[in-house]
Structure 1
Amino acid sequence: MTFANVGTLGVRPGQRGKVVDILTRPNRQLEEAGCLLYEVGVSDEHPDTVFVAELWTSAEAHGSSLQLESVRAAIAEAMPFLSGQMEGKQFSVIGSPLRDP
């Protein structure tokens, strides 16, 4: 069953662009690890927040991806720009009206 991870990352004032740049760098290892979708977004209403929506082939695939050197390096690079305020929800995807069951 498809696994979803949707969350927000609080960033230090004026650092949102740096975090977006880090998170949107091409990383083919994510796809190889089972990532189906990784979308990064921003909102003018929340200038110190980065939004991330991920779909994975499984919760295990998501967990394993956190051990990839490329992912660990991106996290380490982004950490100085984060405020520490993070929220997230994880859930199993049941279906969608946009694709066949």
Structure 2
Amino acid sequence: MGKYALFNKLVAKEGEQETLVNILLEAADSMRNLEDCEIYLVNISPEDPNSVFVYEVWSDESAHQASLSLEAAQTLIQKAKPIIAGMERIVTLSPKGGKGL
């Protein structure tokens, strides 16, 4: 089994992008000591004022799935739900290497 990566787009309700960014940065911080999470990047685009893009790389898909059941993750998911207008998985990837991996 190889590394597992995903790129997601989360759409915040009008005016809530910064709040969503902060929640997702909390999520990123909570994963700093989680060895299976190799990359968790929170991004915004000046062309899309309500969206937040998250790029994640995990040791494998099961590690990602397991992370969703962690108490910290569940707390942050509940915190974010009221301000999320939509979500889209842009793509699931199988990283092969490069800078940062």
Output the TM-score relative to the length of structure 1: 0.87
Aligned AA (2:83)? F
Change (3 A) 1:51 1:99: closer
Tell whether 2:16 aligns with 1:15. yes
Indicate if the aligned counterparts of 1:6 and 1:54 stay in contact, CA closer than 8 A.
yes
Tell whether 2:93 aligns with 1:91. yes
| Residues in 1 aligned to 2:65 and 2:83: alpha-carbon distance in whole angstroms | 23
Output the TM-score relative to the length of structure 2: 0.87
| Residues in 2 aligned to 1:4 and 1:95: alpha-carbon distance in whole angstroms | 12
Aligned AA (1:48)? N
Residue-pair matches, total: 98
Unaligned runs of 5+ in 2: none
Unaligned runs of 5+ in 1: none
Bigger radius of gyration: 1
Q: Which residue of 1 is the match for residue 67 of structure 2?
A: 65
